[in-house]
Chains A and B, each alone.
Chain A
Amino acid sequence: MGFFLEVLIGGLLVGVLYSLVALGFVLIFKASGVFNFAQGAMVLLAALCLVRMIEWLPKWFGLDNPALVIVLAALISGVMMVGVAVIIERLVLRPLVNQEGIILFMATLGVAYFVEGAGQSIFGSNVYTLNLGIPKDPVFLFENLFEGGVLVNEFDIWSAIAAGILVVGLALFFQYTRTGRALRAVADDHQAAQSVGIPLNRIWVIVWTVAGIVALVAGAVWGSKLSVQFSIALLALKALPVLILGGFTSVPGAIIGGLIIGAGEKLSEVFIGPLVGGGIEIWFAYGLALVFLLFRPQGLFGEKIIERV
């Protein structure tokens, strides 16, 4: 029982991190209908910028306060993600307005290639360890409930809390600010939003910026968990089943999908994996998403698909 819970909680905590990546996808898909494959590359870029800035800032300016360095590096990375959002909107999205979904998807694949190449040529392509000063000690939970308790990494809990804060912040932003209202209007109906005077282009920049900030948080968390390296870009492939399971258009869907996939993946790996040779994590996630889809073709929380001839 204790072991099962341990695996389950470990899976759920990893799932939170998947949700972080999936969240960026959902934001962009909702607002612009673009299936943004470059999200993984953006996570890599943000993480690379963050880790190298933490390394370079003390060298360039002789700063020695680690907290200040981290804050400054995060700010610089944030500004860079805004720049990336503006450039993508100008050079890629605007000329491709009104194209079919698959064309836009392929364009974001092209963007992903470019961002990966550019990020690695600017910031280097080695493996960098990212230390944000968050403790990584193992802690025991529920020790009073049953013997031995449940072993959890403290870092995972902190990252789950960070993800939670981010999601709550996003929800508040969407619900209570003028821009958030405009974003929801665009997500509901592009044409209607435009006809009441909401500038689509600016909304897209904002959405890509928000997705970039989400990518920065995801990059910081994943980077300090696994160290910053090229494989972070492949997270996009991990986030895909999460996204599909939850539905492309639903923020809560991304969270719950992430939890289901994270838990399912870890449980299957630990309990079924040894029977068939191990390493089944990656396709199991897709299989799980497929099973859910057969019952709800639009994902758990996606908008109901209405088809008219």
Chain B
Amino acid sequence: MFYREAGQFKTDYRSDQQIFPITQDRVAVWAMAITAFTAVPYFATDYLIISILNPFLILAIAAIGLNILVGYCGQISLGTGAFMAIGAYAAYNFATHFPGLNLLVIFVLAGLTSALIGILFGIPSLRIKGFYLTVATLAAQFFFEWLFLRVKWFTNYSPSGSVVAPPLGIFGLPIATPHAKYFLVLGITVIVALIAANLTRGHIGRSWMAIRDMDIAAEIIGIRPMQAKLSAFAVSSFFVGIAGALWAFVFLGSWEPLAFDINRSFQLLFMIIIGGLGSILGSFVGAAFIMMLPIFLNQAPALFGIHLSTETVSHLEFMIFGVLIVFFLIAEPHGLARLWAIGKEKLRIWPFPH
């Protein structure tokens, strides 16, 4: 009744090509953005920001990055953790070797480093396809895990192997409180989401999707597979690298390579598959779902007044997590974003069914 585009005429190209062509969507997104920037930090406690909102936003950035590669370009990657690690260690090294560099510049440089290495590990994708490609990304995963553990130069010869992020600050303003960090992460998330949304609906995004749907057919209609695949690897690794740098600098503070092991890669893959392949919204929904689920499962027994040993709880967590994953895949293989799309269709014709 309220959600329908009847009467919203597009009279110029600009209004026809907006990200959200329907007024109600635009209003909703603006309302959400304003809430996220004003009401949320005003009401949220430190705990909420530190352990839920910040990691959620950072993982959402990584999920967007991975979704570009897997969901839009169809190249399966199990090495996301490695590219997050590259971003984190690149940022650390830029920060230690060039003190005084602007934090945002450091993040962009970290993303670029990760993008370069992403292109390198994307080259096999020109010849190897499907599940066979996972070996290239897994090679990256295990190689970089080893590299950051064994080659001391990357950790600045720290004796314990773990490194500590420098104090954060932009333009002379320190970023120390959870709220300041939240604004930093939120700002970067918004920028990344905007860039990703615009890339995926433009020329380059179309060529990714053509490659995903059938690469030989795409090649025949004039899309260059090399450019398309490698640019997907580059853009994806760029975002994932930035997410890694944020994860290390803002969320962890001090870290070792184990923070970016293969389980991180699986976690991100779960996020985009549960959320929805080929959907920016899906990346956010999936990140929220996969992030909250273990927290909820952890708290649930206490909420119902049941006391279990930590060991039992961790096993139960594994089991319930597994069951829910399978359940969601069976219920909606196209992810939560598809549920939202169906709901929107229903809303448009509500209250009349036809």
A binding-site residues for B, Cβ under 8 Å: 35, 91-92, 95-96, 99-103, 105-107, 109-118, 120-121, 125, 237, 240-241, 244, 248, 276-280, 282-283, 286-287, 289-290, 293-294, 297-299, 305, 307, 309
Asked if A294 contacts B135 (CB within 8 A), the reply is: no
Least Cβ–Cβ distance between A102 and chain B, in angstroms: 6
Bound-state CA distance A237–B326 (Å) is 21
Least Cβ–Cβ distance between B258 and chain A, in angstroms: 14
Interface flag for B99 (CB, 8 Å): no
With contact pairs A117-B315, A282-B142 given, residues A106 and B270 touching in the complex (Cβ less than 8 Å): yes
- Which A residues are CB-close (under 8 A) to B129? 297, 305
Asked if A279 contacts B322 (CB within 8 A), the reply is: no
Least Cβ–Cβ distance between A66 and chain B, in angstroms: 30
- Which B residues are CB-close (under 8 A) to A279? 146, 149-150
B binding-site residues for A, Cβ under 8 Å: 70, 76, 124, 127-132, 134-136, 138-139, 142-143, 145-146, 149-151, 214, 216-217, 220, 262, 266, 269-270, 273, 277, 311-312, 315-319, 321-326, 329-330, 333
Q: List 16 A-B contacts (CB under 8 A).
A: A92-B326, A96-B329, A99-B333, A107-B326, A107-B329, A110-B324, A114-B318, A114-B323, A121-B312, A244-B131, A248-B131, A279-B146, A286-B142, A289-B139, A297-B129, A305-B129
Bound-state CA distance A92–B330 (Å) is 8
Question: Could you say which of B131, B135, B312, B322 contacts A114, with CB atoms under 8 Å apart?
Answer: B322
With contact pairs A106-B270, A294-B128 given, residues A307 and B317 touching in the complex (Cβ less than 8 Å): no
Asked if A96 contacts B333 (CB within 8 A), the reply is: yes
Bound-state CA distance A106–B334 (Å) is 12
Asked if A287 contacts B128 (CB within 8 A), the reply is: no
Least Cβ–Cβ distance between B266 and chain A, in angstroms: 6
Asked if B135 contacts A241 (CB within 8 A), the reply is: yes
Q: In the complex, what residue of chain B is closest to A99 when comparing beta carbons?
A: B333
Least Cβ–Cβ distance between B181 and chain A, in angstroms: 31
Most buried by B among A101, A106, A289: A106
Asked if A307 contacts B216 (CB within 8 A), the reply is: yes
- Which B residues are CB-close (under 8 A) to A298? 132
With contact pairs A106-B270, A113-B321, A116-B318 given, residues A91 and B326 touching in the complex (Cβ less than 8 Å): yes
Q: In the complex, what residue of chain A is closest to B142 when comparing beta carbons?
A: A283
Q: Is the interface of A mostly helix, strand, loop or mixed?
A: helix
Asked if B128 contacts A293 (CB within 8 A), the reply is: yes
- Which A residues are CB-close (under 8 A) to B273? 102-103, 106
Q: In the complex, what residue of chain A is closest to B214 when comparing beta carbons?
A: A309
Most buried by B among A92, A125, A280, A282: A282
Bound-state CA distance A102–B77 (Å) is 11
Asked if A102 contacts B322 (CB within 8 A), the reply is: no
Most buried by B among A111, A278, A293, A298: A293
Least Cβ–Cβ distance between A20 and chain B, in angstroms: 20
With contact pairs A106-B269, A125-B315, A305-B129 given, residues A240 and B322 touching in the complex (Cβ less than 8 Å): no
Asked if A117 contacts B132 (CB within 8 A), the reply is: no
Bound-state CA distance A299–B135 (Å) is 11
Q: In the complex, what residue of chain A is closest to B328 when comparing beta carbons?
A: A110
Q: 6 shortest A-B CB distances, which residue pairs?
A: A117-B318, A114-B322, A110-B325, A113-B322, A117-B319, A286-B139
Bound-state CA distance A299–B219 (Å) is 24
- Which B residues are CB-close (under 8 A) to A294? 124, 127-128
Bound-state CA distance A229–B123 (Å) is 38
- Which B residues are CB-close (under 8 A) to A113? 318-319, 321-322, 325
